[in-house]
Amino acid sequence: METHIELEKVLPAEIEARSFEIITEELGDMPLIPGTEPIVKRCIHTSADFAYARSLHFTEGAVEHALEMLRNGASIVTDTQMGRAGINKARLAKYGGQVYCFMSDEDVAGAAKAGGTTRAAASMDKAASLGEPLIFAIGNAPTALVRLYELIQEGRLRPELIIGVPVGFVNVVQSKELILSLKDTPSIVARGRKGGSNIAACICNALLYMLD
């Protein structure tokens, strides 16, 4: 190296473990809810943003229920192709589940146009018609969360878990609070503006890795 920049010597297979060590060190005595630590730490690992230690909200028993459902073959619905790309599909398939993303489907585009809504919202209707145990991982579209809220209120859908982590500025904060206002829906929500498809995928992966 011709510069004075010093690289830490870490073997490829040890980079992730070393990262989690640093995260644990820097979290210090920050109180985390028992049983949620691997999820919180993986969100920080994915974002380098310690704000997730405070913003992530877990409804009671949500993690345990999600783990049981994944173990029994539940599938995951996500609102972006990036989210789908990031989820460990081989690990999910091991238990019988798959990842659905309907955002590029022509029928969804048509339904959104006809209804004056977003493709993300219309894709939640398509998911509701599947009639199977589903975990929703929403990392982009607040309109998807709003539509999930409506479908649940109308009794047309009962998600096993909603991962509510859209990112942004228009109705993002409100859509997350709507999900948290549901009494009987297990959820993991990043309160505030932050989140993303990467966070949605990493929460799914954290759950999958907890199964092993």
* Residues at the site binding a copy of itself, with contacts judged by CB under 8 A: 1-3, 5-8, 10-12, 15, 18-19, 22-23, 45-49, 80-82, 84-86, 112, 116-118, 143, 146, 153, 167-172, 174-175, 177-178, 181, 192-198, 201
Least Cβ distance, residue 142 to a copy of itself (angstroms): 8
For a copy of itself, give the closer residue by CB, 2 or 60. 2
The two structure tokens encoding residue 212: 């092993």
For a copy of itself, give the closer residue by CB, 69 or 204. 204
Least Cβ distance, residue 48 to a copy of itself (angstroms): 4
Are the C-beta atoms of 100 and 80 separated by less than 8 Å?
no
Query: Does the annotation mark 45 as catalytic?
Result: yes
127-143 per-residue burial string, b: 16 or more CB within 10 A, e: under 16: bbeeeebbbbbbbbbbb
Rounded Cα gap, residues 67 and 204, in angstroms: 10
Rounded Cα gap, residues 143 and 138, in angstroms: 10
Name residues whose C-beta falls within 8 Å of residue 104's C-beta, 6 or more positions apart in sequence.
81
Least Cβ distance, residue 49 to a copy of itself (angstroms): 7
Terminal Cα-to-Cα distance of the chain (whole angstroms): 41
For a copy of itself, give the closer residue by CB, 44 or 62. 44
Least Cβ distance, residue 204 to a copy of itself (angstroms): 13
> Which residues are known to be catalytic?
45
